[in-house]
Chains A and B, each alone.
Chain A
Amino acid sequence: MTQHIVRTFDEELGLLSSKINQMGGIAEAMMVDALDALSKHDVSKARGVIERDAQLDALQHDIEELAVLVIARRQPMANDLRQIMGTIRIASDLERIGDLVKNIGKRVTVMEERFLSMRSLSGIQHMAHLVLGQVKTVVDSFAQNNAELARHVWLHDGEVDTLNNSLFRELLTYMMEDPRSITFATHLLFIAKNIERAGDHATNIAETVYFIETGQQLSGPRPKGDTAPYSLSAKDV
């Protein structure tokens, strides 16, 4: 970032960025814990996830307040303004991700353990790992001011959608086979949907990061769900 004549302006922008990073860190950790709580049916861990969402809310509030102050005081223009507006948007996306993950935690606390089968969970875990990778990469792209990385996240959202469709079919089959599993499978369906929504927010963040860095909107054809080449990588999973 180029330096400003008023050094405190730079400091304020830096503070905004570091708060976004802090939110990203919390959201990632919450997601990992929620999934762990789900696969081990660890209710106390799930409660911990629910409680931690308040931190995200508080941070988002801080960011909005600080951003408004900076706009009022410094009258930012061009890329500074993009940076600040982008920060507000990213904060609200991260906060939404926190809400979705909190919801997974809530479901874990009311689910019945006896239907917990390895097989249906492995799909959910796979999907969560993919989305976690998307969230991590997109926050990385913000921290490193890397528009290309953001674009990469944006391009790879289709994988998550396809996975969600596939999980839906699978869970439907279980429900038809054994009506007793309907409650459990429905919870899993909603959890899958929540994870998929979290992935959508990661894509939103990617669009914002791209806009902050380049001033352009991400556009053009994006491989959509059904025809998307499926890929897994060390860095984007």
Chain B
Amino acid sequence: MPEAGAPLPEAPPSALRSRVVQGKVLRLMALATGLAVLALAHLSSLPWLAHGLALLLLALIYVGWRPALRREEGRLSEAARVLRPDAEFKLSTVLDALGAPTILTDRRGHIVHANAAALKAFPGLKQGHPVTFFIRAPAMLSGLEAVLGNDSEVRFELLDHIPVERSYDVLIRRLGGAPEVGHLAIGTAFAVIFMTETSAAKRIEAMRVDFVANASHELRTPLASILGFVETLQGPARDDATARRTFLGIMETQARRMARLIDDLLSLSKIEMSAHITPSAEIDLVAALRSVVDTLGGLAQDRAVALKLTLPEARSLVAGDRDELLRVFENLIENGIKYGQSGGVVEIGLTPVEDAVIGPALAITVRDFGPGIAAKHLPRLTERFYRADVSESRVMGGTGLGLSIVKHIVTRHRGRLGIASIPGDGATFTVTLPALTPK
């Protein structure tokens, strides 16, 4: 008989269970035989002695078998205790410590446990629901079907596009000791889905292609203009001092534009590279906004624009990347100053909101009172190199990438960028970021 705290019994629980069942059946059969003997003795009117013997037999069978059964049953419940709650608790703790998204499913493909990394990568995952309700890619569906059917292991590539492009190498494997499908209770771990993220490698490739395409297209214009002026300076305008001064001035502007463009392209690529990683540092938006407004004070004064800041007293925390968020506010406020100059004032506000999709969030609004933006441009402002007014953008020294950078940073922070404008009445840019509740 196993003592309390004894090591795992040698027989697996399923074998123990069948032994208990066997014991019960045998006992029933013996009882039936005893009863039959009794009835026979009674019918054939044998002496009372036979009755007594049969009764004695029955009693013996009943008393003798009970402890044996009890013993088996005890071992069974002991085995169940060792394998079930404790083991599962330890398993989930270990799984949570893994860096790679890992999901345990039962034999129907419903989630038994999704580890912390999996919840971070796919926030919807809920225990007890089918995995395919949350990760719907056909590859996942067919892979899971194969393992729940006959295969012991399946590997495939999973591509996810919303909210950001991500790719995973996925391995689904039937758990080592998992018995035949039919015998396993619903809700018991049957297979494990293990994902290795491969987004970074894919991104490097995509970035290279994009960079070459964008850069060559956009750099050609200023370069052509510089070359044109160089030729003029070498030829007809060789000895014309005034023309030389003007041309060199234009060439400088163009060269600076190219430099800015390259800077913007590089930072855009950098942000895109890390788009699949959600930033996690604790950032106080109140302090961040103040510091941006301080930096842009000079520019605002030059252009006779007043910056009106309305901030809450308390710290307003989000999980983010400080440099990137500063860049967002800088771009938006600078745009407000430049394009909303005629309005004379740019209002900057920060309010806590409850968002249907994001949940508790902080909304940062930058409102200018300039000419506003026509509706047809609104949805396209964040496209790379899209300009509402090409000539004005050039005059302002824009590269056509500012809002694209803003959008990418906000998306990376799992937030939202909203742009609303009524022509003639200025524009409002709203950045909504998931709020961080202070610990």
Contact = CB atoms under 8 A, between A and B. Distances in A.
Nearest to A17: B133
A133 B163 CA distance: 8
A18 B163 CA distance: 23
Interface string B346-373: 0000000000111000000000000000
Interface in B395-434: 407, 410-420, 422, 430, 432
Interface stretch (B135-143, B309-317, B325-333, B337-345): B135-143
Interface of B: 124, 126, 129-130, 132-134, 136-138, 140-141, 159, 161-164, 213-214, 217, 356-358, 375-386, 407, 410-420, 422, 430, 432
B162 A230 contact: no
B137 A25 contact: yes
A133 B162 contact: yes
Nearest to B378: A230
A165 B376 contact: yes
Prevailing SS type, chain A contact patch: helix
B377 A166 contact: yes
B379 A230 contact: yes
Give 4 closest A-B pairs by Cβ, nearest first.
A25-B136, A233-B416, A231-B418, A229-B420
A235 B414 contact: yes
Interface string A67-79: 0000000000000
B379 A159 contact: yes
A181 B66 CA distance: 92
A236 interface: yes
Given A122-B384, A232-B416, A234-B415, A152 B356 contact: yes
A230 B133 contact: no
Contact of A26 (B130, B133, B138, B217): B138
Contact of A233 (B129, B140, B213, B415): B415
A110 interface: no
B163 A21 contact: no
11 contacts: A22-B132, A22-B138, A123-B380, A133-B162, A166-B377, A227-B422, A232-B382, A233-B358, A234-B164, A234-B416, A235-B162
A104 interface: no
A99 interface: no
A36 to B, nearest CB: 10
Given A123-B383, A165-B376, A235-B163, A25 B132 contact: yes
